[in-house]
Amino acid sequence: MADYSVIGAGSWGTALARVLAKNGHQVTVWSIMEDEIAMLKEKHEHESKLPGVKLPESICFTTDLKEAIENKEMLVLAVPSPFTRSTARSMAPFVKEGQLIVNVAKGIEDKTYMTLTEIIEDEIPGAKVAVLSGPSHAEEVGKDMPTTLVAGAFRKETAEYIQNAFMCDFIRVYTSPDVLGIELGGALKNVVALAAGIADGLGCGDNTKAALITRGIAEIARLGVAMGGKLESFTGLTGIGDLIVTCSSMHSRNRRAGMLIGQGYTMEAAMDEVKMVVEGVYSAKAAAGLSKKYQISMPIVQEVNDILFGGKPASEAVKDLMFRDKRSEANSLTWEE
């Protein structure tokens, strides 16, 4: 039995803590919010974010970050992406050299364009940082529904350690050395999911959704490969797999926010209605900035930014996407003479 901590008591952190505890590990869950920890201690259930999912009595809960970090074999960092840097900075004094930190949030910092593992390495230079990602809604993991994830790390033994910690009868974990590709897929799909939700809110159909998913992964892969990610990651679970589930599921906060925007809500009103961090909003600016930096065409990402931050009507954005200049779908293919 190993001793682990989950830093962040949101729906995903809570679901993963439950998985680790059910696998026989000692688990501590940390939150900065005293009322949240009090509720978890009393109910052993996150009544607002993961209702109906009972947590093992063996899980410990604390607001003491030092207690949550010291003498733990693995730290699972599960705070929303906008809080990754501030949380990592608070963790740094208590993290030992070589401490394994597994990031499970998805996002890109809008000012620096850094991925979340890069942020953690920046704030905690001595840590061993890895990522766990894939198509995985906490609501389904909490009900033991079959789910697949990818553990990404720079060294094979690190990825396999994470794989062994989380793998169980309803979670299958694969390994990969492409940490950058995994993180880019997880962050950028949230922006495309906003677009899918906006289309749903406008009353568009299945054809539109299929087009957004297909052309969306093309944009993500173009940028990701240009930045150094591997194409296999974007055609796999952390690319097209995560994109499909986030664009199609009502569990997706990004899709739900997009639907509200498509129905006429402002970005701020939509985020208030969803009542959870809509990470695609934070990643959208970074994605647009990266597309310019690497000179990669990302029309869906650009239209999402114009809607979110430029006041562009969603219906006009759809028309502009449809009436762009004609082009071939696959530029690498050749025609017969």
Residues annotated as part of the active site: 189
Residue tagged 């239209």 (tokens): 303
Nearest-angstrom CA–CA distance, 72 and 60 = 13
| Residues ≥6 apart with Cβ < 8 Å to 241 | 134, 135, 148
Which of 113, 32, 162, 102 is CA-nearest to residue 288? Answer: 113
Burial of 334 (0-12, 13-18, 19+ CB in 10 A): exposed
Nearest-angstrom CA–CA distance, 193 and 166 = 27
- In 125-278, beta strands by DSSP E: 128-133, 147-152, 171-176
SS3 content of the chain, % helix, strand, coil (to 5): 55, 10, 35
What tokens were used for 1? 């039995």
53 DSSP 8-state letter: -
Cβ atoms of 151 and 162 within 8 Å: the answer is yes
Within 10 angstroms of residue 140's Cβ, the number of other Cβ atoms is 17
